[in-house]
Structure 1
């Protein structure tokens, strides 16, 4: 006799299920949760085919183990799970963005609070990914240097935000900059911007990025954004103590780059 059972995204890590798969998707949970988060808009098409394959395989696995569940029921259960979170997206969003090097979701929370809808997330740290899922119901894709993960990025979105790794530029580290693998991740951002041409690029890093290598590292980033990619850039070091209303003296460099072809009023300034 078949029995009913609730299912959860966490169950996709079940070892007996993973062993059963002939060709498992490396980013199963990311594909599935991104599909569910965008199921009410056209962005879901970027994830739909593989997401439905994931669900089909899992239903077959459940049925083989005498647990009865159908696709529609599975979708509804999983959809409730990804939507019933502490920080859901507003239904009345006005722009779309992607969240790279997402951490636990600081950029995402800020942009959701001003009317944004996140359509793609990437973060490689496993613990940060778990926290991100608890906060937003979405599992980030992994290593953004992998072409297969870049290929899941939807074609059109308005803002790219990225707090790209700062250890390579931090005064607390060895300050190798672009000589360090983590420092070259800026050029993965460059590739994504060049391909998708978002209206706005919003970057954040440690204050030391500005002075690193006698200013050459920062100069390279600005020149790449302006001369190669055609964006108009604004940059300023801001302190969380004066802007975030928190008891923390945390200075960071913020870079905002606007595509003048898509953002006609591009005379903004970053103010202290």
Structure 2
């Protein structure tokens, strides 16, 4: 059984085309700006769903996917449930449905490796390139995330690089430049997405009785986003503000 938090039909922000987005329960990171804090706990208010049920939903929505769309697994952190997801991924492959995994890349084991091999596209969230600042932002090291990126490159697995721009936390010119230099020779990066920081999930913290840690951090201005886009673009192609 798979622990599912929620679904989004006809999604257009998490991978190419129109997609069924499955938000899974459980995460190994503790990102200060997390928009889905209710997905962090391994159980939360999630429901256990049989793989066949998710397959049925994907097959039913397949006519809307077109040539580029498919199913995206987000969260939470999908690789947190890698073992449970493997049978579903195999069934989705047999049904000819494009599979996308949105991951922080911070979990690694044989099940995760097999899961990413079955995926058609990986959305890799690199929270910060500087490890000390990454720890401040997520309470975890970025070492495994960078190793996961190297594995994707070495195994010819297409991926998108995603970077949330947060003033005072990840919007440092020197860190973006270091990230650009690190990834500029990668051939499997199909797209770079700069994700603007937002406070849309703050009400969830209040409802859960939690203290939101980034009070006072302002959303990005259009000028800040454009400056970051140009900086990324100096190292990598196909850079977009999502």
Alignment TM-score, normalising by the size of structure 2: 0.39
Alignment TM-score, normalising by the size of structure 1: 0.36
State which structure, 1 or 2, has the greater radius of gyration over its C-alpha atoms: 1
Larger relative contact order (CA 8 Å, sep ≥ 6) = 2
Q: Which has the higher strand share?
A: 2
